[in-house]
Structures are given as structure tokens and as C-alpha cells.
Structure 1
Amino acid sequence: MHGPCGGDNPKCPCMIENKCSKNFPKPFLDHTSVDSNGYPIYRRRNDDLFVENSGVKLDNRSVVPYHKVLLKRYQAHINVEWYNQGASIKYLFKYVNKGPDRATMAVIQSNNVDDTKDAVDEIKNYYDCRYLSACEVSWRIFGFDVHYKY
């Protein structure tokens, strides 16, 4: 449940300019639909059921979407939503498919002795390192194709 916020609790952390930043409470709706940006607007029934939190009655308008099986299995709230629009898919995978981050580093061996006598082999000590994200590492461990052409 989200809240209480709004007029019932103006000091709630989600409040920005006297309005809930998460747009709660949501309106009652008979059917799930998709807005103009491709995000789901979930069905919320007006069944007169409520829970009381801090003296405020919270109904279906304050329910945060959840996945019951994952919630019970991992005993944690995991936000899982299915989007059916191309723009949403592009947004979700923008960060997963982002190009690899790189770092340039040098390895220098020093024994606190005057190193000016020996020539430094810059090519030997130069490394161009790639950062591999968890997604890319697991993709490579399982042996999936990283790219393909046809």
C-alpha cells in the first residue's frame, strides 16, 4: 500500500509541492488500458474494501502494483511490469544495451629506489581495460552470441 500521503499526511517523503510524486491515489477504473506513452493504467475496482493505516482508510486506489508469486517466493517487493509498446521496450533496454565503459590505466612497479636510471616501457605498462556489466558477463558465461549478421 502507498501512503497515506496528500492531505492526510503532507510530510510524507513522496510529497512534492503538496502533491504525491507517484500520483497516488490512482483513479478507480473498470479496465486496464495503455496511456499515450505506452505505460499501463491498471484496473482498480471500487469494492468498498479498505485497510486502515495511521487512522487513514486506504482502498484500491493506493495499492502499488505487485507480482504475487515473486513477492511470496523472495519475500521482497519486486517491481515487474509488462509493456506492450515499442517505445517502452526501447526505454527499458536502453541501459542494458549501452556501450561498454572503458578505463585507461598504467601499472607502475616501484621499490622506492631512484627509478630514473631504468627506461620505462610505456607500451608494456599500458592497459586498455573494459568494464563488463553483470548482464554481459552472464551472457558470455552461458555462451550466447554477442552479435550476429544475416
Structure 2
Amino acid sequence: MDILCIGTELEPFVQSRPAYWNRLIKQIRGTYKGKLTYTSNWEEFDRVPFWKQLDYIGIDAYFPLSEAQTPTAEELIAGWQPWKTKIIDLYTAMQQPVLFPEFGYRSMDYTVKKPRLVDGKEERPNMESQANCKKSVFLEF
């Protein structure tokens, strides 16, 4: 395989045991010759202390982009701008490419306001909202 992800969305573990991660990356590099990444959640990507030791910055891109029931692609593109600035700032500081190992939108009302199913209830189906969300990602990135 070309890329190995060494972990996904483990912020408390990453923050509490940085020496572990440094050793792990070194050990993996000793046997694995492909590229390495770690996948952070959108809320934590700027707090991962070992990006420089990896080949890619991985971000699960479930960013809250709008509070609208059915946001337009234009509204979503506007919603991406502050996040995009933070992503570019991190890319510039680390000089490493950024991957979105995960992104996606449920076909429901308010899909980017509530990217996760928190309360166990689904909203009304909304295919237009889902399509607009995907369109905005492809237009922006």
C-alpha cells in the first residue's frame, strides 16, 4: 500500500502521550517504506504535534459550514473560507500536503450544521443539501 494511516481522531491520546507517537513513527519508518499520515478530526488538526514527522496532514473534513436547512453551494463556499485559511496556514508552516481521508454529508436538513448524528434523530431527507455540500468541496479543493 502507498499510504499508511497510523491513527484516527485520537486527540486525548495524542496530547497525553507525544513521546509514544514519536517512537511509533520512528518504528514504522524502520520497516514501512511508504508514506505516512495521521487522521485528525476537523476540530483538532491544528493541535497535532507530530505533523512534521509524517508525509501528509490528514483531516477528517466534517467542518460545520452553515446553519441553513438547505445551504447553497455559494453559502458553503463562504463557510469554507475560515477553515481553508487555517488549513493553508498549517500547510505553509509544515510544508506538507493535506489529505481529507474522510468527508461526506448525510442527505438531510441541516447536514453541515450537525455533521454527526448526535441525538439519534434523523432530520428530514434533503438530497439538494447533500449535493450542494459535495459541490462546494470539489469547487474549493
Fold shared per TM-score above 0.5? no
Larger radius of gyration, structure 1 or 2?
1
Higher RCO (CA-CA < 8 Å; seq separation 6+): 2
Bigger fraction of residues in helix = 2
| Interval of TM-score (by shorter of Structure 1 and Structure 2) | under 0.3
TM-score after normalising by structure 1 = 0.21
